[in-house]
Chains A and B, each alone.
Chain A
Amino acid sequence: MKHVLVLVLLAVAAVGLSAQAVTVEFWHAMGGKNGEITTAICERFNGSQSDFKVTAVYKGSYPDTMNAGIAAFRAGSPPAILQVYEVGTATMMASKGAIKPVYQLMAEQGEKFDPKAYIPTITGYYSTAKGEMLSMPYNSSTAVFYYNKDAFRKVGLDVEKPPKTWPALFDAARKLKAAGYEYGFTTNWISWIQLENFSAWHNLPYGTKTNGFDGLDTEFTINGPMQVRHLTNIYNLSKEKVFVYGGRENKANSLFTSGQVPIHFESIGGYGNMKATCKFDFGVAWLPYYPDVPGAPQNSIIGGASLWVMGRKSPADYRAVAKFFTFLSSPEIQAFWHQQTGYLPITRAAYELTKDQGYYAENPGPEIAIQQLLNKPPTANSLGIRFGFMPQIREIIDEEWEAILADKKTAKQGLDDMVRRGNEKLREFERINK
């Protein structure tokens, strides 16, 4: 009995000695390969020094992770780092007492931190109007289009020169349809790609108050003539069966990967998946634009998620988080993350490093995405969007879009209803977060 007691005491002492490192938790929504890479990055950090330890914990889908973080905060024990998807940004930002802004954390902890080292369209999405970075970008992607090179060859389209403008893309799609393909093109994420990115790409405002960056009293402006024209065009093509609707979110993927539809709009974050599932030669191309719009193409905007530092943690925890963020921003780690997952690097240095390593020679797709983001310095219309209740608003946009395609309303009516219903949600959000 005595021996057992001694052993237990020794064991406790041993644990106590080795547990000197400050341990913080990092809750994330990265499943599969992306989750493995996330864990690998944390392990590298833990191995690089002995004072701090970051434990990556997978919490399920994006909404699950966000809900887990919120519940933990309400219960008084939030994780130090919480990954939140881009549509949750406004909610996090409005919850001032619940979060610790990253720029403030880095200043308090005396970490070297130069916001200019980052790619502006990425950090801009998570910064205040004054340029103060509130959360650390983690997995960022942007919208591009994928095209089936075999199909292009078959109908005599130039695989090296995919269509640059919308009219050219519509022609190509019609040509593919005429050559026997059931449909010419499809798209994922109607709201994110065909409205949010579309507006930024054509330098058009998505909402008032700098797309919501300057205050909660913002309103949508997406029922302008260009958006009406664009959705009307797609609607008309759906009647010609040149465009096909594949469902909400990323449900249209199977149309492209099965070879049925040769042109598909999707996130660059899906590049790895395309590589794994497409049994044909495919390419990635820049988002098209309407050539008569002055300033187009501007720059595309991001999607994905960022890391929020939660409030009510100890100074030692914040020290650990600051060190981890510095480590995470280093070119080597960013290049590793970028090349392993397909998500975009957040610093220019990591982009240059990847280029030097010759990664893009074999994987030209991701570079196109970065070039789109860097195409021009972002304007007030192309920094990103920031609206409360964004998940609900994207759902409203899906619903109205489906009503347009099902001949229940015209594109103009649908867009007007998106604005009206969206504004109602914005007012509710404004009231709740006063």
Chain B
Amino acid sequence: MAKQYEFSARGLPYLLVLPQMVIVVMFFFWPAAQAMWQSLFIQDAFGLSVTYVGLENYLKLVKDPLYLDSLVRSFVYAGFVALSAMTVAMFLAVQANRRIRGALFYKTMLVWPYAVATLVAGVLWMFMFNPNIGVLSYVLSRRLGVEWNYLLNDRQAFLLVTLAASWKQISYNFVFFLAGLQNVPTTLVEASAIDGAGPATRFWRIIFPLLSPTTFYLLVMNLVYAFFETFPIIHQVTQGGPNQATTMLVYKVYRDGVFNLDLGSSAAQSVVLMIIVVALTVLQFRFVERRVTY
């Protein structure tokens, strides 16, 4: 049983959490409430004529086939990003956790991309894979004979933004997995080895279950990341194209709000996005968390 701390003054704990609460309310609750409020109106850019339209902004979204396509696409995208970023990171973490020469070097190198701003990551990937001037597209088209043109080929464009977004997230996942692995008691691993378990069995029966809290946490974080934070990559690499092949929900919110100043629709879209992520998180806590051993 953990030790219980008692505060002598009743107000003190509230006072201590106050700064954090102020920040959360100001930067999360308040804008979210504003978005919900604004989604019920249509208004011009300057807010000179504001008309209450009820749920019309939402109904329009539901009826728009392009929006529904974007919705499905965003789920597929988030799934792919989370899956690939986590698998690769877990593989790398398991490898780097061994006693190997230069482990520190590998670890440092693997954590490095996390320091790259998302937008800059987008620029890097754009230059590497630009069909005309990109180094890797040169290799792809001249050496490997792939007809590489993500500016027109929607699958290639989708693949490219998925890769770029995953790459950016691998470092983050790597750090957490590595920390998780280091918490796995060596005694357990050694005991199972003595009992004759091979490396694969040791991983799947001992290490993977013990890592499950980390994996679960990362799953939530990665989905949130894919849904909300990858728009600079899309903005930089494809701008949602070709056609609408990489127009994800969050990118549409940004385009419609910032570029097109269609605030009512943009607000409604961001509320939808918020509901999706809240729902996903709740679902994960209800169903996935049951299988997690802390």
Closest to A62 in B: B259
Q: Could you tell me if B152 and A402 are in contact, using CB atoms closer than 8 angstroms?
A: yes
Contact partners of B261 in chain A: CB under 8 A: 66-67, 70, 91
On whether the beta carbons of A399 and B241 are closer than 8 Å, the reply is yes
Would A97 and B48 count as touching, CB distance under 8 A?
yes
CB distance from B260 to the nearest CB of A (A): 4
CB distance from A404 to the nearest CB of B (A): 10
Contacts of A201 in B (CB 8 A): none
Q: Among residues 111 to 137 in chain B, which have CB atoms less than 8 Å away from a CB atom of chain A?
A: 130, 132-133
Q: Give the distance in Å from the alpha carbon of A408 to the alpha carbon of B243 in the complex.
A: 10
Across the interface, do A406 and B154 meet the contact criterion of CB distance under 8 Å? yes
CA of A245 to CA of B150, assembled, Å: 11
Interface 1/0 per residue, A94-138 and B, CB below 8 Å: 111110000000000000000000000000000000000000000
Give bound CA distance, A247 to B236, whole Å.
12
Tell whether, in the assembled complex, residue A245 and residue B243 are in contact, meaning their CB atoms are under 8 Å apart.
no
Given known A-B contacts A248-B239, A392-B255, A98 and B260 have beta carbons under 8 A apart: no
Count A-B contacts at CB 8 Å: 88
Cross-interface CB contact of B241 among A91, A248, A255, cutoff 8 Å: A248
Instruction: State the Cβ distance, A59 to closest chain B Cβ, in Å.
Output: 13
A153 within 8 A of B: no
> Which of B132, B151, B243, B264 is A399 in contact with, Cβ under 8 Å?
B243
B243 in contact with A389 (CB, 8 Å): no
B281 contacts chain A at the CB level, 8 A cutoff = no
Query: How long is the Cα–Cα vector from A50 to B51 in the complex, in angstroms?
Result: 46
B152 touches A392 (CB 8 A): no
Give every chain B residue within 8 A of A433 (Cβ-Cβ). 44, 49
Known: A255-B132, A402-B242. A247 touches B49 (CB 8 A): no
- When C-beta atoms are compared, the residue in chain B nearest to A400 turns out to be B243
Q: A91-B261, A255-B132, A402-B243 are in contact. List 11 more A-B contacts (CB 8 A).
A: A67-B258, A74-B46, A91-B45, A95-B46, A245-B151, A246-B132, A248-B239, A392-B260, A403-B242, A403-B243, A433-B49
Instruction: List B residues at the A interface (Cβ < 8 Å).
Output: 42-49, 51, 130, 132-133, 151-154, 239-244, 255-256, 258-262, 264
**13 pairs from A and B in contact (CB 8 Å cutoff):** A91-B261, A96-B48, A97-B46, A244-B132, A246-B132, A395-B240, A403-B242, A403-B243, A406-B152, A431-B42, A432-B44, A432-B262, A432-B264
